[in-house]
């Protein structure tokens, strides 16, 4: 089971690194915003993923490091039994900043969104 989790975390790290490398490419600042400097994020992506999974009660499916108005944060999508949750984690201290859950209605296939802070 741990090897499966390691594989998922490793895959997410590779995906996030590729996304960050693409955003740091020359000429991309005009379209994508300021490049993210990983050295300024003391909280690792693995730590952010573990925090988000614990907070949302599921498994991470996607994670990325973002610079929102000069503040570094991780945005982690977590799939649970009946809902998908997006969790924002402060990259400086590891604190959960926000969660946004979209609950799946199995009868009708519709989604219900709610937010808690």
pLDDT of residue 81: 87
Average pLDDT for the chain: 75
pLDDT tens per residue, range 53-106: 999 999 999 999 999 988 999 999 999 988 999 999 999 999 999 999 886 654
The Cα 60–Cα 1 span in angstroms is 15
Note whether 91 and 48 are within 8 A (CB): yes
* pLDDT of 16 strictly over 90: no
Note whether 72 and 65 are within 8 A (CB): yes
């Amino acid at each position: 089971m741990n090897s499966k989790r390691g594989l998922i975390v490793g895959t997410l790290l590779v995906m996030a690194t590729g996304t960050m490398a693409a955003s740091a490419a020359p000429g991309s600042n005009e379209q994508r915003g300021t490049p993210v400097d990983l050295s300024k994020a003391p909280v690792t992506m693995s730590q952010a993923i573990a925090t988000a999974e614990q907070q949302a009660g599921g498994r991470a499916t996607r994670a990325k490091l973002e610079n929102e108005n000069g503040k570094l944060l991780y945005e982690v999508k977590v799939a649970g039994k009946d809902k998908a949750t997006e969790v924002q984690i402060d990259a400086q201290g590891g604190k959960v900043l926000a969660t946004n859950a979209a609950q799946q209605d199995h009868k009708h296939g519709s989604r219900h969104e709610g937010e808690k802070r």
